[in-house]
Amino acid sequence: MRKTMYTQMKPLWPIIRRYRWSFINLFICVVVTSVIGMVYPYIFGMLIDEVFYQRNLQFLKYIVILYGAVFAGEQCLHICFNSAWAYLATRFSFDIRKRLYDKLLSLRPAFFTASKSGDLMTIINRDTEEILAFIHLNVFFLAANILRLLTAVAFVLYASFYLGLLMLVAVPAVVFVTVMFNRRLRTRLTEQREQYGTLMSWCFEMLAGLQDIRLLGAGKYSSRTFVHMLIQYMRVKNSSSKLEWISERTIGLISLCSDLALYVTACYLIIHQQLTLGVFIASMEYFSKGGELLQRISGASRSIQRNKVAIDRVISLLQEPEENKGSDLPGLRVTKGNIEFDNISFSYNPETPVLLNLSLALEGGTTVALVGKSGSGKTTLASLLLGLYQPESGEIRVDGTLISRCSLRSLRQAVSTNAQETFLFAGTLRENLLWGSVYQADKALWTACEQAFISEYIRTLPEGLDTLIEGDRGLRMSEGQKQRISLARSFLRPAPIIIYDEATSALDGEAEKAVRAQWNNLGGSRTAIVIAHRLSTILSADKVAVLDNGRIVAYDHHLRLLSDSEIYRRLFYEQYAENGLGMNHEETAAQYQA
């Protein structure tokens, strides 16, 4: 079933309703202006018949006054409309953008896996503007022009019945052709928009990876892909432009035919004295205005097709399912920091299970190193604890409380994380450290930076914590420096459970040791899950959990695992043992067993 405009716009009603009075006032303005604007040809007709034809100079005075009054009234209404519209437009697009942004913040992580940032940018920027254009065209522009057209027909019918009838035949003919073309055009425009989105997303990705492309010598390859994508986009664009052009010409032709019919009929009526010269000239003006209005209406309905595609995208984003925040659920209270993964199964897509009946119990206050091959599901396990995804079966408990029965906000306050990829925002170092949290004095910021082993570097910067980083004008930081800033950020938000996803991978040995010492200091009652890619992480952890084939296959102290677990031994020698360490460890393991 085809959607009506009402059902299509339904998700936007709350915002539209907020401005209903402004919309109503504007609409009244449009109605009055439209009708007033159509009076000119009629007055002109009177001027010809009464003043020129009847030689009644007295009447000229009234005509001039009438012209002046109509013009002044029309201009006043125009000024009112334009200023009110400018205000409404900015407020309205602000509200929609805010809603979209809030929506993005609460969507399920799976949404972001499937969507491209180029598309999302287009929705927030361009498509939002198109909603306004849609309302402007639909409610005001289209309404105004249809009203003008009706007024024109009414004037002509009043002045000459036959000419009015002629107009009534020409109007539906043009509308019919317009509607016919629009249907086809909409499909083409959807294709064009999709192709543009793909092209933009690809450009975004390529620009971000420009350095890598050059280093990999993949310039030619990426340039070929670019040309291929451009050609595809141009093809779709050309075909819709062609259709647009054909539709415009056809409508133009029909208007021309109706003009010719007017001249023939008018000649006949004037010869038979059924029409005055003034009425003929006024009708000619109404006919040409009518043609112009029809052209505009058809132009508007073509733009409306374009807007509808944009609106569909905004609305489908607004209707995306959100993360269940569990705002009505109680907050999570962490006392000891015990974490229990009980028989967890999870997959991103049904064909490839990632975790399968996984069970793991972490004792509060300990540091557990999680190890496993790349792609074995370590980050996924951490994401489940953070409530980013829900396990398909099984339960996760913190101090005996199911995390699915706690508010998401409290869970994320209790579990702090240092993600595998560090992301810093454009802004000052201070803003990055405090991002989203309450204000803290400089002393606390410096302490956190010292703990993360980055304070010395920051002191060498002339503007210290006020140094701009990232963005166009900001300082570029190395991966290791970024990780330390991100570590300092997590030190400023003390949480009883910490997940470090390879947080120290870009740190040098010295810095890593110091950071580790700080974790241990902070440690005490904190439970830490460290997704380990380094030997030192494993050695300093209380226990090591080995993830393989979606399960925890071994969980014990490193040395005991080394002697007892074949899988761990293999993994350890493949991934972790550094030069010369293998032998020593076997010896140590033997001693440990003894």
Binding site for Mg ion (CB under 5 A): 379, 420
Q: Which is nearer to ligand ATP, 306 or 378 (CB)?
A: 378
CB of residue 115 vs ligand ATP: minimum separation in angstroms?
12
Binding range to ligand ATP, per CB under 6 A, among 3-11, 291-299, 375-383, 473-481: 375-383
Neighbours of 538 (CB within 10 A): 21
The alpha carbon torsion through 50, 51, 52, 57 (nearest 10 deg) reads 150
Using CB under 6 A as the binding rule, whether residue 354 contacts ligand ATP is answered as yes
CB of residue 374 vs ligand ATP: minimum separation in angstroms?
3
Neighbours of 264 (CB within 10 A): 10
CB of residue 398 vs ligand ATP: minimum separation in angstroms?
20
Using CB under 6 A as the binding rule, whether residue 496 contacts ligand ATP is answered as no
CB of residue 577 vs ligand ATP: minimum separation in angstroms?
17
The DSSP 8-state label assigned to residue 506 in this structure reads T
- Considering only residues 401 through 430, tell me which ones interact with ligand ATP, judged by CB under 6 A: 420
Measured from each CB, the residue nearest to Mg ion is 379
Cβ-contact 130, 254 below 8 angstroms = no
Query: Residue from 302, 306, 313, 378 that binds ligand ATP (CB under 6 A)?
Result: 378
CB of residue 394 vs ligand ATP: minimum separation in angstroms?
16
Pairing of strands 352-362, 339-349: antiparallel
How far is the C-alpha of 460 from the C-alpha of 463, rounded, in Å? 9
Residue 113 binding partner per list Mg ion, ligand ATP, none, with a CB distance cut-off of 5 to 8 Å that depends on partner kind:
ligand ATP
- CA nearest to 107, candidates 120, 126, 91: 120
Using CB under 6 A as the binding rule, whether residue 521 contacts ligand ATP is answered as no
Residue 374 binding partner per list Mg ion, ligand ATP, none, with a CB distance cut-off of 5 to 8 Å that depends on partner kind:
ligand ATP
How far is the C-alpha of 262 from the C-alpha of 412, rounded, in Å? 74
Structure tokens at 352: 């490839």
Using CB under 6 A as the binding rule, whether residue 380 contacts ligand ATP is answered as yes
Q: Which is nearer to ligand ATP, 251 or 499 (CB)?
A: 499
Distance of CA 292 to the CA centre of its chain: 38
Q: Which is nearer to ligand ATP, 379 or 483 (CB)?
A: 379
Neighbours of 540 (CB within 10 A): 18
Binding range to ligand ATP, per CB under 6 A, among 15-23, 316-324, 373-381, 489-497: 373-381
> How many residues of this chain interact with ligand ATP, rule: CB under 6 A?
12
- The interface mask with ligand ATP, positions 67-106, x = CB under 6 A, is ----------------------------------------
The DSSP 8-state label assigned to residue 419 in this structure reads -
Neighbours of 497 (CB within 10 A): 23
- Number of residues that this document lists for the chain: 594
Using CB under 6 A as the binding rule, whether residue 376 contacts ligand ATP is answered as yes
Query: Residue from 37, 372, 496, 550 that binds ligand ATP (CB under 6 A)?
Result: 372
Using CB under 6 A as the binding rule, whether residue 367 contacts ligand ATP is answered as no
CB of residue 501 vs ligand ATP: minimum separation in angstroms?
7
How far is the C-alpha of 253 from the C-alpha of 451, rounded, in Å? 78
Cβ-contact 168, 154 below 8 angstroms = no
Using CB under 6 A as the binding rule, whether residue 351 contacts ligand ATP is answered as no
- CA nearest to 449, candidates 435, 466, 430: 430
The DSSP 8-state label assigned to residue 137 in this structure reads I
Cβ-contact 40, 46 below 8 angstroms = no
Query: Residue from 197, 337, 377, 391 that binds ligand ATP (CB under 6 A)?
Result: 377
Q: Which is nearer to ligand ATP, 71 or 348 (CB)?
A: 348
Using CB under 6 A as the binding rule, whether residue 552 contacts ligand ATP is answered as no
Q: Is 156 exposed, middle or buried (0-12, 13-18, 19+ CB in 10 A)?
A: buried
Structure tokens at 321: 């399912």
Strand partners, 475: 469
Query: Residue from 4, 273, 327, 374 that binds ligand ATP (CB under 6 A)?
Result: 374
How far is the C-alpha of 215 from the C-alpha of 186, rounded, in Å? 43
Structure tokens at 482: 């970024």
Using CB under 6 A as the binding rule, whether residue 113 contacts ligand ATP is answered as yes
DSSP run (H or E) holding 566: helix 566-571
Using CB under 6 A as the binding rule, whether residue 379 contacts ligand ATP is answered as yes
Strand runs labelled E in 268-381? 339-349, 352-362, 367-372
Q: Which is nearer to Mg ion, 109 or 582 (CB)?
A: 109
Query: Residue from 350, 375, 462, 580 that binds ligand ATP (CB under 6 A)?
Result: 375
- CA nearest to 95, candidates 306, 325, 87: 87
Binding range to ligand ATP, per CB under 6 A, among 47-55, 311-319, 335-343, 372-380: 372-380
Q: Which is nearer to ligand ATP, 201 or 298 (CB)?
A: 201
Binding range to ligand ATP, per CB under 6 A, among 202-210, 255-263, 368-376, 470-478: 368-376
CB of residue 118 vs ligand ATP: minimum separation in angstroms?
18
CB of residue 567 vs ligand ATP: minimum separation in angstroms?
15
Cβ-contact 290, 181 below 8 angstroms = no
Q: Which is nearer to ligand ATP, 81 or 568 (CB)?
A: 568
Q: Which is nearer to ligand ATP, 350 or 462 (CB)?
A: 350
How far is the C-alpha of 400 from the C-alpha of 364, rounded, in Å? 12
Question: Binding residues for ligand ATP, per CB under 6 A?
Answer: 113, 348, 354, 372, 374-380, 420
